[in-house]
Amino acid sequence: MASTTTPAPAGRALRRRQRGAVVLFLSPFFVLFAAVTVAPVVYAGWMSLYRERSSGLGFGGVERTFAGLANYAAVLSDPAFRDSFLHVAAYCLVYIPVMIGVALGLALLVDSAHARAKRFFQLAFFLPHAVPGLIASIIWIYLYTPGLSPVIEWIDAAGGSWNFFSPGHTLSSMVNIAVWQWIGYNMVIFFAALQAVPREVVEAATVDGAGAWRIALGIKVPIIRSSVVMTVLFTCVGAIQLFTEPKLLSDKAQALGNDWSPTMYIVSKAFVDHDYASAAAASLLLAVVAGALSFVVTRMGKRWQES
């Protein structure tokens, strides 16, 4: 009996030490998460419920008054804020299919049995993602600018005409910048998922007479559906926060304005109009939309995986 009961205290002590080690290693993450994510969200929520106004003739300073949901109502009734979501929706309709389709196509090509120098092409496709987004946008604006861009000179020499900053072409100009920067990143994700596809399944399909297209679209893509859904989700969340490309293009393309996207609207409210309460309300509304979009994409992805 003694031999069966004596290890119990030692086992409890071991479990306590394990729990302590877990808490020790996880606590830095939760502390940083609370400091840089939870606290700013709570502060933004508190700020969005108040409104600042000058007292007297402006000599009495600024007083903060409780506004309730008035800031949210004002933001939702602002046509500029509503139109910014329509702009991003149009951007997503072009950007997401092009991004996912081209990245998946490149991954399938690199994963093909006939492909050579796979490591080289992985690195070559991924290199644009290593360039910071701000620098990439500046480079592309240079390539879009008449009188400076060799691309414009080539188009003119071929007898064509193209204005990257015109109202009809600014959307494609932004999509081009984002696709150039992110296509290699998503291609690497798809390629890594394709490496996990059982080779015996591909070999069996080849023996049965399936061609390269049938193997790629009928076998490989369905197997990596979870990776496709994850990439679509990340792409949607990133697209709804679009800021760098339209902000830099707005200096050349006047049609974009300062509130083309929701994030540009928020920055304009906060740092141009100095209306921090409305900016906080718009930020939280954007977070709600991003959360709802993530939920919809996840649900649709689950249905696709189960089908």
- In SS3 terms, the chain reads as CHHHHCHHHHHHHHHHHHHHHHHHHHHHHHHHHHHHHHHHHHHHHHHCCEEEEECCCCCCCEEEEECCCHHHHHHHCCHHHHHHHHHHHHHHHHHHHHHHHHHHHHHHHHHCCCCCCHHHHHHHHHHHHHCCHHHHHHHHHHHHCCCCCHHHHHHHHCCCCCCCCCCCCHHHHHHHHHHHHHHHHHHHHHHHHHCCCCHHHHHHHHHCCCCHHHHHHHHHHHHCHHHHHHHHHHHHHHHHCCCHHHHHHCCCCCCCCCCCCHHHHHHHHHHCCCCHHHHHHHHHHHHHHHHHHHHHHHHHHHHHHHC
The average pLDDT across 100-104 equals 92
> Residues 109-166: pLDDT tens digits?
888 766 677 777 778 888 888 888 788 888 888 888 888 888 888 888 888 888 888 8
pLDDT at 4 over 90: no
> Residues 276-306: pLDDT tens digits?
999 999 999 999 999 998 898 888 888 877 7
pLDDT at 202: 79
pLDDT at 3 over 80: no
The average pLDDT across 199-219 equals 80
Whole-number mean pLDDT of the chain? 84
Overall pTM > 0.75:
yes
Q: Is CATH 1.10.3720.10 what the domain over 70-306 is classified as, yes or no?
A: yes
The residue that leads in pLDDT, 62 or 199, is 199
Sorted by where each begins, the domain ranges of the chain are 2-66, 70-306
